[in-house]
């Protein structure tokens, strides 16, 4: 990516007040882009506000399902690049409130893309965040996931991401031919992940003795975890490639992870050990024994072979380095609260 590539480019981010949207915004601001974000409520307990970035972003109040609003934003601000992160992200909420999950994740995606299409503006780059959950459950011997695996989701959250994924792919093809790339990344962690239903921030908060960790399963599930700074670099690399060579990359699907799975139990052990609180970890182990896991895929691992071939990206952060930075950020954040 050329130096100063993002300078003065107009970038629209849905889900800007969330974890990934906030971290991407911070990097784009550092690179002198003009950042615009759709925001549904005035929640100030987020990464963007904690990092005091709000005065450097143009916020637009509204809902991702408002197609006409999307068209107006794209046209009024002459948007060059779009990153779509707005979603209902919790697997558990998908089980208890599937309607909300489908409405946000599926309707939100086709409303965004139809709004872009109807705006009449030639947007250069549209990156749609799907998920490894879109694949559904495959045997461990078939890990890591390959981009050509059929999508076979079962649970509501997984189905919602797979549906949005396929809708995005359809808009990348004729007759629409929008410059779209779909990303399916593994579990992302790092500073600013303030959704404490996610396992890494929940465990860090507990290991730092601000809460008590309640396991949601037996800890045997295998997951792949990637650091948010690596993810931000990848999103910017994919988007810049759409600017420079859209025909080569348009419509592609990219997995990204570290190609290394870790059990939830071992993940928790590393977190509590990093926080120097193994005493509480032993309590967590006792709670996990014989606890049944519901609505979770057993094994999910992602590699980065294809995306490395197309954009030359690979993760730079080891889990240990990323976790140390994340723990230190949460120490400061939780202390300030």
The residues annotated as belonging to the active site are: 157
List alpha helices for the chain, DSSP H: 19-30, 47-50, 67-76, 91-96, 98-102, 108-119, 156-172, 199-207, 228-244, 246-249, 264-274, 278-288, 305-311, 319-336
Q: How far apart are CA 20 and CA 41, in angstroms?
A: 17
Question: Considering only CA atoms, which of 252, 285, 95 is closest in space to residue 178?
Answer: 252
Per the CB < 8 A criterion, the answer to whether 78 and 119 are in contact is: no
- How far is residue 257 from each of residues 92, 114, 220, measured CA to CA in Å? 23, 30, 19
CB 23 within 8 A of CB 228: yes
- Cα–Cα distance between 136 and 227 in angstroms, integer? 23
Q: What is the rounded distance in angstroms from the CA atom of residue 18 to the CA atom of residue 31? A: 20
Q: 19-30 vs 228-244: helix axis angle to the nearest 10?
A: 60
Q: How far apart are CA 134 and CA 160, in angstroms?
A: 8
């Amino acid at each position: 990516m050329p130096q100063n590539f993002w300078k003065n480019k107009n970038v629209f981010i849905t889900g800007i007040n969330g974890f990934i949207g906030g971290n991407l915004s911070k990097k784009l601001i550092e690179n002198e882009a003009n950042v615009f974000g759709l925001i549904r409520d005035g929640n100030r307990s987020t990464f963007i506000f904690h990092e005091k970035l709000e005065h450097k972003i143009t916020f637009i109040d509204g809902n991702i399902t408002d197609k006409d609003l999307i068209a107006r934003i794209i046209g009024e601000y002459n948007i060059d690049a779009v990153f779509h992160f707005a979603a209902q992200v919790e697997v558990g909420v998908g089980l208890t409130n599937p309607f909300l999950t489908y409405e946000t994740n599926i309707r939100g995606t086709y409303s965004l893309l139809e709004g872009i299409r109807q705006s009449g503006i030639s947007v250069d780059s549209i990156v749609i965040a799907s998920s490894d959950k879109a694949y559904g459950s495959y045997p461990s011997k078939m890990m890591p996931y390959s981009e050509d695996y059929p999508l076979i989701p079962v649970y509501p959250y997984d189905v919602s991401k797979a549906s949005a994924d396929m809708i995005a792919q359809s808009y990348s093809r004729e007759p629409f031919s929008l410059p779209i790339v779909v990303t399916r990344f593994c579990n992302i962690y790092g500073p600013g992940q303030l959704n404490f239903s996610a396992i890494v921030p929940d465990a860090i908060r507990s290991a730092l003795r601000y809460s008590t960790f309640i396991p949601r399963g037996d800890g045997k599930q295998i997951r792949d975890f990637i650091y948010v700074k690596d993810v931000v670099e990848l999103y910017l690399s994919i988007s810049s490639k759409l600017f420079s060579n859209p025909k080569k990359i348009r419509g592609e699907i990219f997995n990204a992870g570290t190609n290394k799975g870790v059990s939830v139990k071992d993940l928790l052990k590393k977190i509590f050990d990093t926080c120097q609180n193994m005493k509480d970890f032993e309590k967590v182990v006792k709670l996990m024994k014989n606890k049944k896991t519901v609505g979770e895929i057993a094994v999910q691992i992602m590699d980065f072979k294809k995306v490395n071939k197309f954009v030359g990206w690979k993760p730079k952060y080891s889990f240990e380095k990323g976790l140390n930075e994340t723990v230190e950020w949460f120490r400061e954040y939780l202390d300030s609260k």
